Amino acid sequence: MLREKLKEYSTNAEADMPHEVIATMEKALRELKATHIEEKTIKVGEKLPDFNLIDTQGNKYSKDSFKNKKLVLNFFRGSW
């Protein structure tokens, strides 16, 4: 159901986009696929690799600092 809704949204959004924007997005997608990034991502059931992160206040966190705690990770590409 979600897949169909996303496809419908995408189709409707593309109808309102200039051809140049669609071409740029398609080119970026081809370039991303060419990196084989999907082969490097964590798959369902795999363990999270070790990491060290710094939050916006400068506090440092590692995977081990969340041991025996619940952890939610939110990944985003950023904004331009």
Q: How far apart, in whole angstroms, are the C-alpha atoms of residue 50 and residue 29? A: 29
What is the Cα 16 distance to its own chain's centre? 24
DSSP for the chain, written as a single string: -HHHHHHHHHHHHHHTS-HHHHHHHHHHHHHHHHTTGGGGSPPTTPPPPP-EEE-TTS-EEEGGGGTTS-----------
Instruction: Enumerate the domain spans of the chain.
Output: 2-66
Chain position carrying tokens 């959004």? 13
Instruction: Provide the token pair at 70.
Output: 């619940």
- pTM beyond 0.85, yes or no: no
**pLDDT tens for each residue of the chain, 80 residues long:** 888 988 888 888 888 889 999 999 999 999 999 999 888 888 889 988 898 989 999 999 998 998 899 888 777 766 65
